[in-house]
């Protein structure tokens, strides 16, 4: 199997990640922050360790500004619903995944005012269009960091500067970029960052997080036991407890810590240049196959490890099935949970065949994908 | 280490559970329901398998009425917030964990009307008191199935009958009972059941679920990508997708399936009678130690595997620490995230020393606990 579905979840996971999950379950699988015994303390320590690994990667000084969630969707729901109220105005883009678009559209039914700024046909966004959309009641700007359909990287630094100059919190969806692109939260004008644990960070599914800037106040959206302030029937106001009700996914978080440690050990820039090498070869070769249409920017530095294509008018899911059945290549066809983005790039009916490569893909695998596409396009 | 903290999370996990988690991560760790390739299909199959295992255990005919969540707190938040609106009245009890109490108290700030029915000093509840609390605007009754402080089993069948006869949905918190007591949802008048995956069901942390009766309509509380109806920016209305946004904890759910399979294989009644044997010995022996106060009912059939005690006026956390440090016994002291229950049994200041045993505890471990308590109470 050639796994080219890393934008959905990365695979394989490093053996260190699997060992960390197993080790937690076998050796100290107690409930962190609940009891005071040795195993519970050790379980608590692994949560802190993973927070610290994430802080190192994202340049966050205070580990308690990293909140654990269960996936990037959970993080986005918390960040959005904890920030805005009916009557507020939110700006987002036409490149969003449904993880951001669906909570926003749901809130719109209940009195939220929503502006969806249109991106260009390659997924690129002009920060000025965000600026023009700002109103007196704008309370949040939400954009993806990079599209899960085209891989297009959005100008988050410019958007963040605009947000800061207007005093509007800025939330980025780092589903495709956390662990993939360098993200320095000590420099970037970003107030909230939602990220999955199981994609570029190489951790297990069932993990995710939200970075919350020290000046941001968020309401909790899930109350419950936190192991802290047990005497109160009200949610504690301290971080991270305020947002971390209920038993954490401790084994998953142990795995996430090991994933981030591997990233830091390998070096993010080394991984990125490997992925860019694959991407460059892939894009270059595909540009010579006549029947293939490539979406997104042609400059590899403007995209993450996603290459979405179509073969003339062939249904994207059919092509994806062919790749799976005939070539043992795992890709995703269809709309990738991002209908707005497909409207933007003109593929709402056809979808796209999405190849998404990662740190563990090799050059010969990319070559096999190219050969397969050549053959199918000759059919 | 003698692990007596199974009410927080069960430990050890069966090797089958750990193998299932590892096997998923190693062999088919794709994103279920997203892509159509073989690995994604296999990941989707394990979700269905676990749903079917849970259906077998709880006697639920339709696997799609079992929703996966991330812990019991997540399930309770969904069940409560998806059910009621400001102006509605909710009845709950003074034995609830903060996982139910905190979301309810939060909603009360925003216009929910809340009645907390008082339980007796042993945690027992008179169903008639629930009946008396019903008003014209009562929209939900929420009770724990068994207290996490005293182990007291609540009369859910009687409460459910009252709820049904008034047409009010009934939500139970099965945090302490799922996998421990027989629960037949084809017979019980229960409309919503929140349960953790990592306690009596022997699965990994980061898993949980919610059973939703076919006649219950719930709003979603977390929107996002579901892999279904990708063309729509609105949350799908189909089950289970409506409530399962974002990437699932597939390895955790694989482990949960293996945990439930082990339960079914061993036989729940066999496990229960083992646990009751431990409990009976424990209770009987403790009743002869003069300085020890035992909380909850003296009849073992009226409680789950929890024995909460105090030694005269000794601080419960101090006793818990002593047990850990001097005897290598892992218990929990303090309030166990259930302040209402401690008010009810009169231990709000002192807390309790909670021993919670499970399927893997042995008689000699219980005897060691008894000896340790004897020694400490002689100090």
pLDDT tens profile B245-258: 999 999 999 999 99
Q: For B286, phi and psi rounded to 5 degrees?
A: -65, -30
Q: A352 at the B interface (CB within 8 A)? A: no
pLDDT of amino acid B135? 98
Distance from the A102 Cα atom to the nearest Cα atom in chain B, whole angstroms: 5
Task: Spell out, as residue ranges, where chain A has pLDDT lower than 50.
Answer: none
Whether residue B198 contacts residue B207, with contact meaning beta carbons closer than 8 Å, is answered with yes
Residues of chain B numbered 72-91 and touching chain A (CB < 8 Å): 72-74, 76-77
DSSP calls for B115-175: EEEPPPTTS---HHHHHHH--TTEEEEEEESB-TTT-BBP-HHHHHHHHHHTT--EEEE-T
Tens-digit pLDDT profile for residues B1-58: 999 999 999 999 999 999 999 999 999 999 998 889 999 999 999 999 999 999 999 9
Distance from the B283 Cα atom to the nearest Cα atom in chain A, whole angstroms: 22
Name beta bridge partners: B113: B89
Q: B29 at the A interface (CB within 8 A)? A: yes
Mean pLDDT of B324-339: 96
Residues of chain A numbered 308-347 and touching chain B (CB < 8 Å): 317, 320-321, 323-324, 329-340
Determine the residue among A20, A26, A27, A37 to mutate to test chain B binding: the one whose Cβ has the most chain B Cβ atoms within 10 Å: A37
Q: B366 at the A interface (CB within 8 A)? A: no
Distance from the A51 Cα atom to the nearest Cα atom in chain B, whole angstroms: 17
The DSSP code for B290 is T
CA geometry: angle A218, A220, A226, nearest 5 deg: 130
Burial class (CB in 10 A: 0-12, 13-18, 19+), B198: buried
pLDDT of amino acid A82? 98
pLDDT of amino acid B144? 98
pLDDT of amino acid B35? 85
pLDDT of amino acid B218? 97
Report percent pLDDT > 70 for chain A: 100
- The reply to whether residue B225 touches residue A22, judged by beta carbons under 8 angstroms, is no
Mean pLDDT of B319-345: 96
pLDDT of amino acid B33? 87
What chain A holds in terms of domains, given with CATH numbers, is 2-10+267-378 (3.90.1150.10), 15-265 (3.40.640.10)
Calculate the alpha carbon distances from A256 to A260, B24, B44 in Å. 6, 16, 22
pLDDT of amino acid B39? 94
pLDDT of amino acid A140? 98
Distance from the B230 Cα atom to the nearest Cα atom in chain A, whole angstroms: 5
Q: What is the ipTM of this complex?
A: 0.98
- Could you identify the residue written with the tokens 């003339």? A312
pLDDT of amino acid A35? 85
Tens-digit pLDDT profile for residues B56-107: 999 999 999 999 999 999 999 999 999 999 999 999 999 999 999 999 999 9
Quote the mean pLDDT of chain B: 97
Q: A305 at the B interface (CB within 8 A)? A: no
Report percent pLDDT > 90 for chain B: 98
pLDDT of amino acid B379? 83
0.90 surpassed by pTM? yes
- The reply to whether residue B30 touches residue A221, judged by beta carbons under 8 angstroms, is no
Q: Which of B206, B230, B232 sits opposite A252 (nearest CB)?
A: B206
């Amino acid at each position: 199997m050639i796994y080219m579905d890393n934008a959905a979840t990365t695979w394989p996971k490093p053996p260190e990640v699997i060992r960390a999950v197993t080790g937690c379950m076998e050796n100290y699988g107690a409930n962190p922050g609940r009891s005071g015994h040795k195993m519970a303390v050790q379980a608590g320590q692994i949560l802190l360790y993973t927070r610290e690994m994430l802080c190192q990667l994202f340049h966050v000084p205070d580990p308690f500004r990293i909140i654990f969630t269960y996936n990037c969707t959970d993080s986005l729901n918390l960040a959005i619903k904890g920030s805005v109220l009916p009557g507020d105005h939110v700006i987002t883009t036409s490149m969003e995944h449904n993880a951001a678009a669906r909570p926003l559209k749901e809130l719109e039914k209940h009195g939220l005012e929503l502006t969806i700024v249109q991106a260009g046909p390659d997924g690129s966004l002009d920060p000025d269009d965000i600026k023009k959309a700002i109103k007196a009641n704008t309370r949040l700007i939400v954009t993806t960091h990079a599209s899960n359909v085209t891989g297009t990287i959005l100008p988050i630094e410019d958007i963040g500067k605009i947000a800061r100059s207007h005093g509007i919190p800025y939330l980025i969806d780092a589903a495709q970029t956390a662990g993939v692109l360098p993200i320095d939260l000590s420099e970037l004008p970003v107030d909230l960052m939602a990220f999955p644990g199981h994609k570029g960070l190489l951790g297990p599914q069932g993990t995710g997080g939200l970075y919350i800037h020290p000046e941001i106040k968020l309401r909790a959206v899930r109350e419950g036991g936190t192991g802290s302030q047990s005497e109160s029937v009200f949610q504690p106001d301290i971080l991270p407890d305020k947002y971390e009700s209920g038993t954490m996914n401790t084994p998953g978080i142990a795995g996430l810590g090991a994933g981030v440690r591997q990233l830091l050990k390998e070096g993010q820039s080394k991984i990125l240049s490997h992925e860019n090498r694959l991407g460059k070869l892939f894009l270059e070769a595909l540009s010579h196959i006549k029947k293939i249409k490539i979406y997104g920017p042609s400059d590899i530095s403007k995209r993450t490890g996603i290459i979405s294509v179509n073969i003339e008018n062939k249904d994207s899911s059919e092509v994806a099935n062919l790749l799976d059945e005939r070539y043992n290549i795992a890709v995703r066809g269809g709309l990738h949970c991002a209908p707005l983005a497909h409207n933007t790039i003109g593929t709402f009916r056809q979808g796209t065949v999405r190849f998404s490569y990662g740190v563990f893909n090799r050059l010969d695998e990319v070559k096999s994908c190219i050969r397969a596409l050549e053959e199918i396009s000759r059919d």
